[in-house]
Structure 1
Amino acid sequence: MAKSCYVHIPFCGSICYYCGFCKSVSSNAVKEKWIDQIHKEIQSKPISSLDTLYFGGGTPNILSKEMFRALSLPLMEFLDSDYEWTVECNPEFITENQLQEFQQLGVNRLSIGVQTFQDSLLQKIGRHHSSKQAMDSINLSREFGFHNLSVDLMYGLPGQSLDDVIRDLETFFSLGIDHLSIYSLQIEENSIFGKKGICSCDDELEADMFEQIVKMCKKHGFEHYEISSFARNQQYSKHNLSYWTDQDFYGIGCGAAGRENGILYENTKDLVSYCDRGPMPSFISETIQERAFDSIMMALRTQFGLDVTAWQKRYGLDFFMQYKNVLKKYLGTYLCLEKNHLFPTEQGMEILNTILVDFLSEN
């Protein structure tokens, strides 16, 4: 039975130019219908206890105090004693009253979507907060007792230079936060950038940016524990680790994805349909080979890697026979095998997509 739950909040104050997620700028009447369906969906799940709860979006902290509480109450009873409850927050909407409400409910981790600390770049990607607002919201969160904080940054933005990335990182380090998620810009077809034909960053520049990010994070005592995630003091995202370690998780809400009993599903992304008829999940049919590959793909994103013994037991396959050619090609420089755990080196993380293509070709 799943011990993690993801709840998707599809509402935003405005739509960022890069965003391809399920999102909407909606009225309170729509949100109330959405809350009703969320409650019904929670009741339909066999939830008994949760180690992690994650509110993502969209913009979860755009909800009013009353709506956030209504969303939270049916799930709070399932939280285990040592739970992690993360809420994604846009600095634009963080207030003292909101942080006080989060604290009272028991939220204990915030993921703050800064994207960049440079105002000119924030405007280029359609963000409405300023760099100062972002830093103020982080400091305010600390004042209200939130010390398990993560910041989201992006690189490869239109017009962004390597020096811009360095400045963003220097600002981040100055804040003394122990978790960083940093993603390269991917142009989604249904995003505003995609519709305008904005091109991705030059591959060589993007690679230089990634190398600089890794170098600077390690210099400041961060573990590169997942391809896009860095942590100090073992402040890993417990929720995301459930994805990367092949665990089941509930996906609740319009646009949410989940995995129950090893079967992946995606809820409808149509908000009107969700409000009227519920999640209407589409189940993703996978063979054992496909599920086994998914497990490899997720595990190799992390420094912890793949437990080969557990993988073979779970999927009934001979890992070393099936992937002998891939292992012969990459072991040493790009992949390491220790005590039956396979994990990527830093060089391996840089070419992980290439490595995974070779794993896939052996399926």
Structure 2
Amino acid sequence: MNCYIHIPFCDSICFYCDFCRVVSSKKNQYLDALELEIKTHGVHDIDTLYFGGGTPSSLSIDQLTRLCSFFKPYLNNSYEWTIECNPDSLDLEKIKLFKEMGVNRISLGVQTFDNTLLKQIGRRHSAQDVFRCIKELRQEGIENISIDLIYGLPNQTINQLNSDLSMFLQLDLPHISIYSLQIEENSVFGKKNVQPIDEELEEQMYDLICQRLSEYNHYEISSFCKEGKHSMHNLCYWSDNDFIGFGCGASGKENNVRYDHVFNINEYINNPLAKTWIEESREEQMFDAIMMSLRTSFGLDIDKFNKKYQTDFYSRYENVIKKYISFFDCTKKRIVCTQKGRDILNTILIDFME
């Protein structure tokens, strides 16, 4: 069983963010509603558990203890339990709690190590906060640490990005997720009409990232890891597996049918069991599976796909595969995009869609 739990609370709103998040005092009522949903649905044999947000680390010690207690009894022997944290709200007391509860992976929202850029994007932490968190996590025995970085920030230079990458490599962390800035309509940047960086500069930045992180396993378009340190939870998304979504704004997929929860926290608190099921045709489900898997270095599992969708992948998509054959590594069991293939993946996917 793979579970995602959405914690929508933030101490402040970052200027680029358009996720389901809120600065609210209704944290205890939210946990009441979340507990009802979890108990009603039921959890067992948890393989991966992911607390996302929002900012899960913005909860108090008592609230985190309560939340973690919902799941601790149901962890499998080889589970992965990730909690997203911001450096300004993660302290030694919370780290000790996570260790006691069995959390074994932390995802730190760093975004950049440049203190000037951090202020410009509305972050409340400094680079020193990041260094402190990593030191304390390691002291408590939590070594599986991932960080998020964003590139293409307003006024960011390629030299600043290069410095961020150097700092990541110096920290010798096992995992990084690195994303280009997307200007979302309902974010602060969107409302202020901030413009994205030049496409050519963005491409140069991505090329630099791939070059500097060449000793890491580039196992998904935005994800790099040391050997064996993949995000197992995210792999369940990319591998077309089911997952349960709990909480306001969360999505899930059960028996290959997707669903969403409401984004409004008050609506969720009033009715945490409500879901909107998303009707998809078989063709749409197959496209989703192809789209997600081709993002990764593992590619699409042909046998699994054929069995699940009662089709023959290579026959059904013969024309697309022939057209882009130089961008694929194909075997009887798997089809994987080469690096050049992943660079033009959106173009390839349009043909799969058609």
Q: Tell me how many residue pairs correspond in the alignment.
A: 354
- 2:287 maps to which of 287, 293, 307: 293
Aligned match of 1:60: 56
Distance 2:271 2:80 in 1: 31
Correspondence for 1:8? 6
Measure, in 2, the Cα distance between the counterparts of 1:83 and 1:318: 33
Alignment-derived partner of residue 132 in structure 2: 136
Residues 284-293 or 46-55, more deviating = 46-55
Is 2:332 aligned against 1:339?
Answer: yes
Q: Which amino acid aligns with 1:200?
A: P
Match of 2:200 among 199, 204, 207: 204
Letter paired with 2:320:
V
CA-to-partner distance for each residue in 1:298-357, whole Å, 9 max, x for gaps? 10010000011221111012222321221111112x211023311111111111111111
2:316 corresponds to 1:322 = yes
1:102 aligns with 2:98: yes
Residue 251 of structure 2 corresponds to residue 253 of structure 1: no
**Pick from 181, 206, 213: which aligns with 2:209?**
213
Query: More deviation in 275-284 or 167-176?
Result: 275-284
1:74-113 superposed matches below 5 A: 74-113=70-109
Give 2:254's aligned amino acid. E
- Per-residue CA deviation, residues 188-219 of structure 1 (Å, 9 max, x unaligned), is 1111111111112211111111111111111x
Q: Pick from 31, 36, 43: which aligns with 2:39?
A: 43
Summarize the Cα distance change of 1:279–1:206 in structure 2 as closer, same or farther, 3 Å threshold: farther
The secondary structure found in structure 2 opposite 1:5 is strand
Sequence identity of aligned pairs in percent? 45
Which residue of structure 2 aligns with residue 357 of structure 1? Answer: 350
Work out whether residues 268 and 279 of structure 1, in 8 Å CA contact, stay in contact via their aligned partners in 2.
no
Instruction: Please tell me whether the aligned partners of residues 302 and 332 of structure 2 are also in contact (alpha carbons under 8 angstroms).
Output: no
Give the SS at the match of 1:93. coil
Gaps of 5+ in 2: none
Amino acid at match of 2:294: L
Tell me, in whole angstroms, the C-alpha distance in 2 between the residues paired with 1:54 and 1:279. Answer: 20
1:246/1:298 contact within 8 Å kept = yes
Q: 2:278 aligns with which of 279, 284, 288?
A: 284
Q: Which amino acid counterpart does residue 214 of structure 1 have in structure 2?
A: C
Report SS of the residue matched to 2:177: strand
Moved more, 53-62 or 311-320: 311-320
Where 2:21 maps in the other structure, the secondary structure is: coil
The answer to whether the 8 A contact 1:253-1:279 is kept is: no
Q: 1:69 maps to what in 2? A: 65
Mapped to 1, the partners of 2:317 and 2:65 lie a distance apart of: 49
Q: Counterpart amino acid of 1:360?
A: M
- 2-side partners of 1:318 and 1:339: how far apart? 11
Q: What is the distance in 2 between the residues matched to 1:180 and 1:238?
A: 14
Distance 1:195 1:65 in 2: 35
Q: Distance in 1 between matches of 2:257 and 2:195?
A: 35
Q: Which aligned runs of 4 or more in structure 1 are off by greater than 6 angstroms?
A: none
Corresponding letter in the other structure for 2:36? K
Please report the TM-score for the alignment, with normalisation by the length of structure 1: 0.96
Per-residue CA deviations over 1:102-152 (Å, capped at 9, x if unaligned) read 111111100001000001111111101111111221112111111001011
- Separation (CA, whole Å) in 2 of partners of 1:131 and 1:103: 24
**Residue 33 in 1 paired to residue 26 in 2?**
no
Whole-Å separation in 1 of the counterparts to 2:240 and 2:42: 19
Q: CA deviation at 1:46?
A: 4.0
Q: Is 1:307 matched up with 2:305?
A: no
Q: 2 CA distance for matches of 1:121 and 1:307?
A: 41
Q: Distance in 2 between matches of 1:150 and 1:320?
A: 36
The residue that corresponds to 2:148 in the other structure is: 152
Deviates more, 1:91-100 or 1:38-47: 38-47
